[in-house]
Structure formats: structure tokens, C-alpha cells
Structure 1
Amino acid sequence: MVKHIYVIRHCEAQGQSSDASLTEQGFHQAEVLAKFFADKKIDRIITSPFLRAIQTIEPLSTRGNINVEIDERLSERILGTSDLPDWYEKLRATFTDLELKFEGGESSNEAMERIVNVVEETIKSESEHTIIVSHGNIITLLLKNYHNDIDFQFWTQLRNPDVFRLSVKDHEMTLDHIWK
């Protein structure tokens, strides 16, 4: 049996706070995303508690009458709690030193561990076709866990939304970028 886990980066949002809503374009993207998945079997949807992630998957969950599970471990990674005017360079550095962390923040390894745990639990579950909705930085770390060549540059090229498929068969995992 092959298990498919679709990893979705949320649609375009109005900001970075946990309560930031999708933009008008983001709501349109969410409808397009629902159409993209219309012919795919989906057993389960798990999402970040952030509003933009929930709004991204609502059209699909409504059409498919699929319950949405909220999982705090899918929240975006916290780089730090203090103002970081040079956050971009600091973020880049965390992809080189996976243990590097800033005041009140998580290291890349810490953030990676929590999202990988969600995926590993999903692989062990009964569900064969699962959607996970999360955020760019932590999704990049998830994919890096399975493909070490994924790096900071990969993160800079992500789109809103973006979709990847992790397929698992006989303990072998393949990764496909399926959003065109």
C-alpha cells in the first residue's frame, strides 16, 4: 500500500500573525486548490491553527465533507521573540547551523522535529491520503528532513500556495512538487 501525504503551504495572507486572514487573492487561490484536489481521494486533513492555514483548506474540506484537525505542531516556526531587523540573514544562518536559535525562538532541529512527528504519526495511521497545511519555513524544514539537499534557497522559491506530495511505500519515501 502506498500512502500519500500532501503538504500544502497556505495561500496568500495579509500578514504573519497567527490571526492574519487570507487576502482576496488568497481566498481565490483556496478555491483553485480545492478544484486541484477534486479528483484526488482525501481521507484526512490536518492543519496549523493559524487562521490563514485553516482558511486555505476550508473550501476543500467543505466540498469533501472532511473534518479538519488542528495540530499546534504545524504552527509556523518561531525564529525569535525579540524584534529581528536582520531576520532574513538570521533565518539563512539557521539553515547552516541547525542548532542555532535566538531568544525565545526554536532551532531548525526543534521545529523540524515537531512537524516530522506529525508526518511520522500520519504514516503509521490508517489514513492513506492525508493533507497537511502549514507554513513555508517549517515545511522547508520538514522536506529537508527527508531530502538533505533542501536548503534556504529552496525556501526562498516557495509560493503561496505550494503543494508537495510525500509518497511512502515499503518504508521508502518519494517527494514530488505537484503544484504548477
Structure 2
Amino acid sequence: MSTDFYLVRHAIKEKDAGDVSISVEGLEQAHVTARYLNKFPISRIFSSPLKRAKQTAQIIGKAAKIPFVEDIRLRERANWGDLPGQTFEEFVDMWNQCTRERDFLPPIGDSARRAGERLSSCLIELSVEFPCESIVIVTHGGLITDFLLNEFSQDELNHTHSNFINEQSNLIAECSITRISCVGKEFKLFEFANITHLSC
């Protein structure tokens, strides 16, 4: 009795610090993604509390006629603008250190390992509560990557991309869909960062 999850990275956001909205291009991306997901028997939608994710989830939910639910565990590892006075360059340096050193705890946000554990616990809990359902999770590229690195071996991940570890920060595009299933505490990966729906 597996639960299927469609892990959707939010649509393209405005280029600014803080809790920013999705861009005009992101709005179109989200609508295309919503139409694609409407082909599947989606029963529930959960979203990160950040605005870019909620706006994406709202568009998907409107197409599916399903309200989305916020879950704080789906927030990003760290968000530029949350640490007062931090420049974008300083944020990128912090992010990259977290990526290289998965247990490094930054001054704001979570370590990469802890962030991945948040998503794992959320998905396991939802799979117990809603067995055999198909659920959309609208979240962030960094969090999806952190989760995958926690739950799957390097060999498994290299089947999705030959240089997964080194390229991890560039692999999950906006509105890409990563499909997994969960039974108990076991995850299976079926589709990684699919964006074919965006070019149809």
C-alpha cells in the first residue's frame, strides 16, 4: 500500500531577497504544471509556507479543485533575506558550504542533512495517514536534493545524473516533478526532475 508523491519545485520566482512571489514567467510555468498534474489522480496538495511555493500550489490546487495545506517542514534549507544584512554573495557562500559539508549548521536555516530529514519525516507521516493516495508536494529544489541524498545511494542517484553529487545544486529546475513512492519508511524513486511537460 504505497503512497505516491509528486515533488514539485516551485515556479520561477522574482529575483530579490526575502519571501518573494513567482514571476510572470513562473505564473505560466505553474499553469502548465497544473494542467499536466491534472492528468493524475491527485487527492491532496501540501506546500512550503514560502510565498513562491504557496502561489504555485494554489494554481495547481485550483486546476485540481483541491485546497492546499501548508506544512512548515516543506520550507527550504535556507532562504536569502532571512539573515539581516546578508548579501546574495554571502548567502551563496553559506549555501555552498552547507552543500559540501552536509552537517554544517549555518547561522540561519538548517544543515543539509537536517533539512532532508524534515522532508523524509513529512512524507512518511503523510504516507501513514493517507495510504494509496497520490499527493503533490510543492517545495524547493534544495530540500528535494537534500532528501534524495539522505534516502538514496550515490549509485542510485548517479542513474539520474552521472555527476549527481557535484552538480546537485543545478539539477532540479523550477516546476520540475520528481516522483517517488513511500511504503513504511522505504522510498522508491521513479522519476527525477522531469520537465518535459513544460515544453509541450
Same fold (TM over 0.5): yes
CA distance in structure 2 between the partners assigned to 1:179 and 1:41 by the alignment: 19
SS across alignment from 1:151: helix
CA distance in structure 1 between the partners assigned to 2:69 and 2:26 by the alignment: 21
Retained in 1: the 8 A contact 2:11–2:175? Answer: yes
Matched with 1:129 is: 134
Q: After alignment, is 54-63 or 79-88 more displaced?
A: 79-88
Q: What is the aligned counterpart of 2:96 among 92, 97, 101?
A: 92
**Cα drift, residue 138 of structure 1:** 1.2
Matched, 1:111 2:125: no
CA-to-aligned-CA distance 1:24-67 (integer Å, 9 cap, x gap): 11110111001111210011100011111111122221122212
Structure 1: where are the runs of 5+ without partners?
A: none
What's the TM-score once normalised by structure 2's chain length? 0.79
How many positions carry a matched residue from both structures? 180
Matched with 2:56 is: 56
CA distance in structure 2 between the partners assigned to 1:44 and 1:101 by the alignment: 32
CA distance in structure 1 between the partners assigned to 2:90 and 2:47 by the alignment: 29
Identity %: 25
Retained in 1: the 8 A contact 2:102–2:113? Answer: yes
CA distance in structure 1 between the partners assigned to 2:103 and 2:28 by the alignment: 38
Q: C-alpha root-mean-square deviation of aligned residues, in Å? A: 2.2
Matched with 1:81 is: 83
Structure 2: where are the runs of 5+ without partners?
A: 155-163
SS across alignment from 1:15: coil
CA distance in structure 2 between the partners assigned to 1:33 and 1:171 by the alignment: 28
What's the TM-score once normalised by structure 1's chain length? 0.87
CA distance in structure 2 between the partners assigned to 1:56 and 1:6 by the alignment: 13
CA distance in structure 2 between the partners assigned to 1:2 and 1:105 by the alignment: 31
CA distance in structure 2 between the partners assigned to 1:56 and 1:17 by the alignment: 18
CA, structure 1 residues 47+18, in 2 after alignment: closer, same or farther (shift >3 Å)? farther
CA, structure 1 residues 168+161, in 2 after alignment: closer, same or farther (shift >3 Å)? same
